[in-house]
């Protein structure tokens, strides 16, 4: 496998928000999901916000991809539980007999593609291919349905097996709970050269909120890619219990930069020292004076940290970070300070944020050289025309609003199927 550092770029694949986006309070430990339970959601606006973010990244000169949502409600996912008949009969029976299960198969949670898979960069893997290990998302019922469909999608998108190895999800059990890239950080001198892989994980410490990522899952992911000397870092219990259900809520890394809350990890100093020893160019940027509460409320760390074509780095932040004066003062300090982060770009993804998903949650990062990029199905890479087509499809087919009671309405199920079919057609053009 030849790899070409000179042509390697990171492509962000954003999850397109699906037509059933709603607030069902499905994720204990995710403060926004819990506090917005029962609110009315706006799927069309949510998808357009996501598309506008993709557009903002394209306008920075970066390559942008997208991943379409699976069909929801997922009648198929209900059949193994003993529901049968037509799809509508299956959905109606589940809504009547097990409302919690029914709500789980209605969720548009696949939009948070940072949880689709862990991506291991070609220069780090044993066979020189990019490895994508589909996440099992075993920690949350509604998310556990995503794995098999995501696996099939990733195989479709990253279709050249000479460049990509797409693995299925680990067996779905709490012991091997795997939440994908949201708990993985790669530090390196560049996207195209060998780097250090850091896996943040939880463990059972008896807190009120679940710790979703198991260390053994991360070890299996590293094994599947044949990584050399990955680093495992235990999340800080206080951060998890404050609402950092994924590490990407309190830290973000890109190339030589680790931007982190000082309380993100249990032994932060140990991690910094281990990284420094292997990557002398490392910049650890710790925030000062931002409480865990402010960090989680504003999603400051759930920013995308990207390398611009001129080599500088930009932080793509949610608008909520600008609305918190303490957080924004810290962003301004970081951008002015002596580190590679030189630009702050603010995006509005409020509908996703209200379910605990910021800019970084919405995207899966895939570093590719020219050959690997050619091995991606181009239908999933955005240019002006494809972006327009997606936006028109959303405008024409996504419901404007979904209140909790709407989920059980067969008219919504029909609209979701029509939207899904229209999207497939738009992708196929
Ligand atoms: O898994 N929210 C998602 C948010 C995922 C954010 N991803 C990252 N941090 N990378 C979750 O908790 C809420 C759905 C609801 O409650 O209806 C939800 O699934």
Kindly report, residue by residue over 381-425, the tens digit of the pLDDT: 999 999 999 999 999 999 999 999 999 999 999 999 999 999 999
Residue written as tokens 């895939």?
Answer: 366
Dihedral, CA of residue 267, residue 186, residue 366 and residue 374, to nearest 10: -160
CB-ligand 1 contact for 121 (6 Å cutoff): no
Grouping H, G, I as helix, E, B as strand and the rest as coil, residue 161 is: coil
- Helices 384-397 and 43-59, axial angle in degrees (round to 10): 170
- Look up the CATH architecture of domain 5-72+107-428: 5-stranded Propeller (3.75)
Nearest CA to ligand 1 atom 14: 26
Dihedral, CA of residue 247, residue 249, residue 254 and residue 260, to nearest 10: -90
- pTM to 2 decimal places: 0.98
- Per-residue pLDDT tens digits for 133-154: 999 999 999 999 999 999 999 9
Dist. CA 364–CA 344, nearest whole Å = 20
Dist. CA 20–CA 108, nearest whole Å = 6
Residues 6 or more apart whose CB falls under 8 angstroms from that of 281 comprise 189, 256
- Per-residue pLDDT tens digits for 196-237: 999 999 999 999 999 999 999 999 999 999 999 999 999 999
CA 98 to chain CA mean position, Å? 28
Mutate to test the pocket of ligand 1, among 100, 212, 356 (most ligand atoms within 8 A of CB): 356
Confidence class for position 429, pLDDT limits 50, 70, 90: confident
- Using the Cα atoms of residue 97, residue 101, residue 106 and residue 107 in order, give the sign of their dihedral: positive
Nearest CA to ligand 1 atom 6: 357
Beta-bridge mates of residue 286: 260
Contact 149, 68 (CB under 8 A): no
- Per-residue pLDDT tens digits for 148-185: 999 999 999 999 999 999 999 999 988 999 999 999 99
Instruction: Tell me how many degrees the CA angle 6-8-10 measures, rounded to the nearest 5.
Output: 150
CB-ligand 1 contact for 66 (6 Å cutoff): no
CB-ligand 1 contact for 355 (6 Å cutoff): yes
Cis, peptide link before residue 73, omega less than 30° from 0: yes
Beta-bridge mates of residue 347: 318
Dist. CA 373–CA 92, nearest whole Å = 43
Contact 215, 203 (CB under 8 A): yes
- Per-residue pLDDT tens digits for 97-142: 999 999 999 999 999 999 999 999 999 999 999 999 999 999 999 9
């Amino acid at each position: 496998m030849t790899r070409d550092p000179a042509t390697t770029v990171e492509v962000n694949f954003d999850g397109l928000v699906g037509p059933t986006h709603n607030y069902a309070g499905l994720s204990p430990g995710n403060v926004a999901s819990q506090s917005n339970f029962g609110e009315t959601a706006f799927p069309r606006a949510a998808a357009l916000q996501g598309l506008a973010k993709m557009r903002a990244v394209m306008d920075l000169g970066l390559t942008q991809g997208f991943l379409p949502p699976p069909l929801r409600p997922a009648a198929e996912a209900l059949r193994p539980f003993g529901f049968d008949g037509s799809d509508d009969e299956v959905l109606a029976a589940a809504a009547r007999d097990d409302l919690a299960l029914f709500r789980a198969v209605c969720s548009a949670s696949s939009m948070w593609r940072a949880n689709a898979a862990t991506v291991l960069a070609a220069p780090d893997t044993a066979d020189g291919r990019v490895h994508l290990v589909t996440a099992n998302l075993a920690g949350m019922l509604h998310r556990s349905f995503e794995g098999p469909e995501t696996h099939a999608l990733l195989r479709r998108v990253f279709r050249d097996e000479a460049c990509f190895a797409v693995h299925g999800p680990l067996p779905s059990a709490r012991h091997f709970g795997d939440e994908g890239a949201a708990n993985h950080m790669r530090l390196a001198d560049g996207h195209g050269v060998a780097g250090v892989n850091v896996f943040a994980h939880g463990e059972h410490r008896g807190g009120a909120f679940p710790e979703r990522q198991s260390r053994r899952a991360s070890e299996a992911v590293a094994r599947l890619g044949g990584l050399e000397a990955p680093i495992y870092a235990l999340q800080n219990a206080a951060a998890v219990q404050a609402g950092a259900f994924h590490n990407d809520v309190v830290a973000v890394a890109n190339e030589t930069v680790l931007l982190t809350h000082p309380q993100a990890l249990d032994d932060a100093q140990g991690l910094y020292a281990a990284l420094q020893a292997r990557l002398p160019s490392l910049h650890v940027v710790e925030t000062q004076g931002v409480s865990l509460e402010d960090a989680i409320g504003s999603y400051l760390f759930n920013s995308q940290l990207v390398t611009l074509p001129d080599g500088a780095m930009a932080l793509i932040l949610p608008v909520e970070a600008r609305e918190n004066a303490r957080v924004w003062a810290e962003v301004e300090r970081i951008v002015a300070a002596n580190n590679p982060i030189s630009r702050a770009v603010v995006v509005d993804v409020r509908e996703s944020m209200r379910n605990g998903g910021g800019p970084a949650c919405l995207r899966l990062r895939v570093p590719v050289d020219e050959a690997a990029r050619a091995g991606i199905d181009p239908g999933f890479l955005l240019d002006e025309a494809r972006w327009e087509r997606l936006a028109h499809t959303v405008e024409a087919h996504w419901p404007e609003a979904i209140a909790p009671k709407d989920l059980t309405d067969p008219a919504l199920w029909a609209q979701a199927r029509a939207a899904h079919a229209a999207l497939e057609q738009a992708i196929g053009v």
